[in-house]
Amino acid sequence: MIPPGASVHHATAVAVDGRGLMIRGASGRGKSGLALEMMARGAVLVADDRVIVERRGAHLWLSCPAPLRGMIEARGIGLLRTTPGHPVRLCAVLDLDNVETARMPQRREIVLHGQRIPLLHHAGTPTFPAALVQYLRSGRRNAPLITDQQARTQRVVLVTGPSGAGRSTAINALEDFGYEAIDNIPLRLIPRLLEGGALARPVALGVDIRNRDFSVQRLIDLYRDFGQDPRLDAQLLYLDCTPEVLARRYSETRRRHPLAPDESYTSGIAREIALLEVARGVADILVDTSELSPHDLRTRMENLFADATGQQLAVSVQSFSYKRGLPQGLDWVFDCRFLDNPHWDPDLRGLTGLDAAVQAHVRRDARFAPFVDQLCALALFVLPACKEEGKAHLAFGLGCTGGQHRSVTVAETLARSLAEQDWQVSCRHRELERRGLAAVASQPGDVGGRQG
């Protein structure tokens, strides 16, 4: 039984002193063989062929599906039995599909279930299994060093826009993606922050009118100075929003506008929009948040910026109701309304596509299996090409009438299938979140887990 919110990976996992390593790679790459080499040097087998990744608190944990516990494949011999290891905390991921050619490799990370995990490439040397055992045994002391190239280039994202447009949401999302995020930092301090050479992570800096030294011209001058500095890779992100939506948001929160503390917030909104107009015109990236929920804005941030942390092509799968319109930012949209609708069964009407009874009902439709098979085949055909092109994110949308039964079932099925092929997948259900039927969104391959 897979724990709720966990993801299953085609991988092998071993542990040393309670520190887990997940070994990924295509079939035939030698995942089991490398695990056996490490076991001969003191490592313990956690799982072979299938690995469960589950978030518990602030950490990710590795475990084995019950039918495979204590078994590992040895080529030329067959299945071998060993003492099954207990669940362990995930401390690193090894990718056998990529060969490490550098003697002192650059620092890499991958994002799984919202957590940043060290990512290693396969060295292919005779001592590599022993080195991996020592790496796990020594813990953080063996974190890869930063290369000279990284020391020369620092990515900086300046985030601005009118109050209420979602700057804090964007900053928080960037922090979750691995950025070092600082909100409301005085402009005069930003150059000092970057004086000592590049940091280990990209930096996101929130700047707005609340700062006592804020001026649009100073912000633009700072941004242009960054553009002349070869050590910096700087972008200006402007979060835009219509005055009507900003007014509604202020009305809902009942907060005073910083530019009109003693007047109506509508006066402050008008002043701020006019003040920031020049910054809006020079921004590299403009995101209109007028029709975006916090979840939608987070997805947009992931699409635009998550690749800077080194994670692989991210895939998002989202269910929705056609009655409320298409979500923004989708690359592919598929209509699930031709499938048998559980809504007409009184016993299923109040349930969702996350419930087994609803999923069984939808899957009994003779058209379900061919549809999902072809949908998965299309996705698996498109994704490698998108990754090769350098795309950081691809979004699939599945819609039905109410966004509660059929589209949710198909979205969960598609996300699970892609995750089992080792694609990094997040899955959310817009209508369920809106109605409180799903407090969090599932991530079967985030490459899995649950996020808000």
Give the model's pLDDT for residue 58.
64
Give whole-number Cα distances, 164 to 64, 215, 218, 253, in Å. 45, 19, 22, 10
What is the Cα–Cα distance from 36 to 320, expressed in whole angstroms? 46
Nearest 5°: CA angle at 182, between 145 and 327?
100
Residue recorded with tokens 């996992």: 13
What is the Cα–Cα distance from 143 to 50, expressed in whole angstroms? 26
One-letter identity of residue 254? R
Give the model's pLDDT for residue 449.
32
Q: In whole angstroms, what separates CA 309 from the centre of its chain?
A: 10
- 387 three-state secondary structure: helix
Single out the residue of 235, 227, 166, 228 nearest to residue 203, CA to CA. Answer: 235
Tokens of 398: 């599945």
Give the model's pLDDT for residue 389.
66
Secondary structure, 3-state, 171-238: HHHHHHCCCEEEECCCHHHHHHHCCCCCCCCCEEEECCCCCCCCCHHHHHHHHHHHHHCCCEEEEEEE
- 389 three-state secondary structure: helix
Residue recorded with tokens 């960054």: 226
Give the model's pLDDT for residue 198.
59
Give whole-number Cα distances, 65 to 8, 30, 39, in Å. 9, 20, 20
Per-residue pLDDT of the chain (452 residues; tens, 9 = 90+): 566 668 889 899 999 888 899 999 888 889 999 999 999 998 999 999 899 998 876 678 899 988 888 899 888 888 899 887 788 889 999 999 888 877 777 778 887 877 778 899 998 888 999 999 998 887 644 444 334 444 446 788 999 999 889 888 999 888 877 788 888 888 888 888 877 665 667 889 998 877 767 888 888 888 888 877 777 878 899 999 999 998 888 877 667 777 777 777 788 888 889 989 888 888 888 889 998 888 888 878 877 776 544 445 678 899 999 999 998 778 999 999 999 999 999 999 999 999 999 999 999 999 999 999 999 999 999 988 887 665 667 899 999 999 999 999 999 999 999 888 878 788 889 898 877 654 333 333 333 332 22
Single out the residue of 227, 332, 244, 235 nearest to residue 288, CA to CA. Answer: 244
CB atoms within 10 A of CB 172: 19
CB atoms within 10 A of CB 384: 11
Measured N-to-C along each axis, helices 356-363 and 368-389 cross at an angle, to the nearest 10 degrees, of: 100
Question: β-strand 44-47 against 50-56: which pairing, if any?
Answer: unpaired
